[in-house]
Structures are given as structure tokens and as C-alpha cells.
Structure 1
Amino acid sequence: IKMDEDKQISGGTAVELTKAGELSDGLKSRFRHLASLQAAGIDVDDATLRTILKSQIVMVAYNANGDVISATEVQEPGVLDAVFADSKAGNAISQELGAIVEGGAATFKLWAPTAQDVALIIYDENLKEETTVAMKEDSATGIWVSEAQSNVVNKYYRYQVKVYHPTTGVIETRLVTDPYSLSLSKNSMYSQVIDLDDPSLMPQGWSDYERPTVKK
């Protein structure tokens, strides 16, 4: 979506907004810098809303003659929380994320509701690429999940994420580490799958250590 020097908008699909009055007291308290502004509403179904949130979003204001008077991209964190993370919505906030080890295998979960596609790339102990695993999104939570992968404990991994990037203004495919990493390689270039219940990772005397009581 672009606006030229003559304020003509090109690209994208237009979705008309409606006036929604003032923000609720809860939203005013949370987003105080927006408290005095008028709110706009959008009337679409859940599936359409989730598709929109994976796209470039530009809000355009027109005058009575239909001329563009202003345009700005939209900051999404608030709506992402409301749609995917809130306990009354997708409830992603209650989900376990990262490389989850169980019974010698690991399942990978990444919260990336704005991503258009995510793949898991596994590397061996020498950081040589071994395999690429497709991931599926739970549309309610925005969490991408892999099938359980065997023989990956202590190996390395990254995610290949296809997503709109607001800085460049285009859809990009990037390799990223896991924000829920429990361990990383040198210089934090790769995430590592580890089992925190593995005795070899525990300091000497860890299992017998008695945690002190802290009085308030």
C-alpha cells in the first residue's frame, strides 16, 4: 500500500470503518496517549480480522469530497493481545511456548499471530542444517506448532518466518531464534533444545539444595 505525492492511495483492499465514539475507560487507562482521540470500529468476521492482522494495515482519512487528507500505519500490539492472548479470547497467554521436551522428543510452539507462514529448521551440534519442518497455526491463539520431533535434544534450531515488515514495507522471510529459548549458541545465533530435567545440566548439589525461606 502506497501513497504518492498527490495523496493517491494504491494497492491493498479497502475496508470501511465506522465511528465508535470514545474509548472505554479501560482502554483509556491502558493507552493514555490515545485517550482523547475518537475511536473507529471495523465490522468483519473473526477469520477476516485475523487475515487483516497478517497484512500491512494503513488507516486513511478522507474529507467530504473523497480526497485523502492523511494516512498512517497502525500499531498492532493492543489488538493482538485482545484477539489472541486475552484469557477471554484466544487465551494464548496461558499456553506453554518454546521447545517443549517430553519423553525424549520435542514439540515446538511459537506465538506469531502476524506471520503468514512459519517453518522449523533443525541443525546438528555443529550448526549444520539437518531438516526443515512445516508448522501449523492455531488460528484462535496465533501459535504455530510443529509435530513432535525425536532425536533433537541438545541440537539447535531456528524459525523461518514469513511476515510483513513495517520498516521495509514488504513481506519478508527471515531466520530468527526462539524468543522462548532456554539455551542459545555462541553469539545467540541459534536456539538450542535442552531438557532442564537432565542431571548433566544441573550444578553439583542441585538436587539436594534447600532453598532458603525469605521473610516479607
Structure 2
Amino acid sequence: MRVVHIQTRLEGDVVLPQRLLSSLPRKVALFTTAQLAHVRGLLGEQLREAGKEVVLTRMRHTWEEGQLLGCSTLPVAVAADAFLYVGDGEFHPQALVIGNELPVFCFNPVSGKWCRFEEGWIRRVKRQRKGALAAFFGAKRVGVVVTTKSGQQRLSAALSLRERFVDKEFFVFLMDVVVPESLEDFPFVEVFVNTACPRLGFDDFSRFPKPVVNLDDVGIVW
């Protein structure tokens, strides 16, 4: 089946609020979604005029510097004091919070509102992740969730777990759409490893019948 990707743009001017600019530290790593790639340069100018140093970096699986994917929760190797995400919703900036220690500021150009992610949410996510990792390393029977979706299928990486963790018994569950509730029929599994979209291990954590970790959590970068 042929897949065609068409990039769209958010129309209109994007002006960063003065209160946001005043709240940002000196060195800022700027990120936007693909829909705002055409104004990334203008956003950088606004930041520099406010006395900020702007850093752009290219993340894995992206086309250009400054583009952010919500499904990538890996650490960002960048020398900055904070992240600034410009775009709508919280799905994308949450990925920065999950994989990094820097403060994350967000500006929604549609609503005109800005915020800084709350420390409580960050602590809860990281505590959840730490507990799931402890469950994985202590488990003997591990379920591995693999999707058949194009771009997310990581069967070879899933099978490599058997070579890396020889003291564990792995059971591979292959499906198209990952439905965590369908795994309730396998109570002998002590913990799950998610090899599909990494956000399943965070956003849908409570839907899994047992703790769940992602591939990169156990040292396998997809």
C-alpha cells in the first residue's frame, strides 16, 4: 500500500508573549511541530531580540532541526537551560519531559496561552517509570508487545531481548493495534516490554494488566 505524507502549515502570525519571554532562561532549545516549521526562524528572531540564545538540534526520526515528534522519548543531547515548545496540545512537549531533566515551557499559538510543565506531573511519570523498571529486572516471565504497523514494527529488536536477558523467559504478543486490555488473558506474565510507539508505555500505562517498560528503558534504542 502506498503511503503519502503531506505537510500542512498553521496560518497566521505567531508572536511570543512578553511574559513568556521574560520567564525563559538565557539559553533556550527551540522546538515546534512540522506545521510550524515555516515560522521557526521568526520565533528564533523574537527570542534573540529578547536577549536569549537559541539552540536548534535535530532529533531522531525527524526531517530537520527544531522538529519535535511526540513519540520520541529519548534524551536530547543539547546544551541549553530549558526547552521551549511552540505548538498546540501537550502530547509533543510531554516527550521532552519524559526523556530529559530540563524545564519545559510551552506556547500554544492557537489559544495564545503559555505554561511551564508542573513538577508534580514530572515526578509522577518518573516514579512510575522507575517502578516498572524494577519490576522488569526482577521478573522471570516477560511479555513483549510487538505491532505490525509500518514504522513501528520492531520484531527483531523484540527477539534480541532473549539474547541480552538470558535469565528471563519471553513471550511475544504480535498485534496490529495494541490493545492493553487484551493482555489480561495471560496472568502468568509478570511485566511487559512495549516495542511499539514508546508513548504506550506512558500514556496507556494504567491500561496494562502488569507494569510496562519500553525498549529503550532496557537499553535497546529503536
TM-score over 0.5 (shorter chain): no
Whose helix fraction is larger, Structure 1's or Structure 2's?
A: 2
Larger radius of gyration: 1
